[in-house]
Amino acid sequence: MAGKPSSNVTELNSGHGHAGRNPGLPFEAELFGSLRINRSAVERRAATLGTRRSVKKNHQAAWLLRAISLIDLTTLAGDDTPGKVRRLCQKARRPVRPDVLAALGMSHAGLTTAAVCVYHNQIQVAVKALEGSGIPVAAVSTGFPAGQIPLELKLAQVRASVAAGASEIDIVISRAHVLTGNWRALYDEIAAYREACGDAHLKTILATGELGTLTQVAKASWVCMMGGADFIKTSTGKESVNATLPVSLVMVRAIRDYLELTGHAVGYKPAGGISKAKEALTYLSLMKEELDSRWLRPQLFRFGASSLLGDIERQLEHHVSGSYSASHRHPMG
């Protein structure tokens, strides 16, 4: 049996609280209007992320356990039922089989996922299933995934989700504002969502695969943060192109620049298409290299994923047993 993971991840979940809220900034187009992103330079840097740092053996197990604690375990399907959501919530409470945790010496670490993310009509089911766990419920809102409904209906959705018990709201921006350069309209929209959220944290989904250029991604990131977003998120998971490393690099550097200007830390959430443990390790390396270790916690970093957890479990079982197990040994519920 392999040894225990490094002691720097012995307390995986010290709580599900958030970092201090981002109050936003008054709208100033000058702060982002001159941004220009060199795609080839970004792609060259992104290509090094999976090769510059190699994490092996006990250290890899520790990083994978950390990755589990950063997952927004998600179900956003047309066939979602209360039973399916309850099973997912049980998985969020106990994301790794007890025998694997015991072999890793982590039985008493209190490991859970960061949150459970559902559609609005499943919020109360999830809240009840997670009662006493401290795991927050996140809800997608504002006409997810396309966002093609009137603003007043979007705001009503946000308020209804908060009233139902969601403590995190994942909204989709109006892509048309980005594609037409109507940055003030985007800012006003985000500020309205922030107000409607009240104490619930606001995660803004840029749907980066539909924004055209990395420059547009950078500008949209800035406007969302200026409007008061607590997190910026890549994708709904429904676009043809979801989270990518070049897009992530641009968004993370926008977060870094915003922090340097304002002193306020904004979280980052890549979502869609991240299904392998190796990919998760690369994203953790990105956050550590471009920001710092503070972002390797649920308050400032999340994976939007459903299948990622299963592959991480398989890698952890391989770490302790030397053999890969079948996927059905690590069900979602």
Q: Is 84 a catalytic residue?
A: no
Largest CA distance in the chain: 58
Tokens in use for 219?
């500008």
Rounded-to-integer distance, Cα 44 and Cα 214, Å: 14
Q: What is the DSSP code string of 174-234?
A: -HHHHHTT-HHHHHHHHHHHHHHHTTSEEEEE--GGGS-SHHHHHHHHHHHHHTT-SEEE-
Angle of helix 151-164 relative to helix 183-197, nearest 10 degrees, comes to: 30
Catalytic position from the list 91, 154, 219, 269 = 269
Six-digit token string for 279: 């990919």
Is 80 in the active site? no
Please tell me which residue in 72, 91, 154, 170 is annotated as part of the active site. 170
* ω into 95 cis (within 30 of 0): no
Is residue 233 part of the annotated active site? The answer reads yes
Residue tagged active-site, from 91, 203, 219, 233: 233
Judged on CB neighbours under 10 Å (0-12, 13-18, 19+), 189 is buried
Active site residues: 170, 233, 269
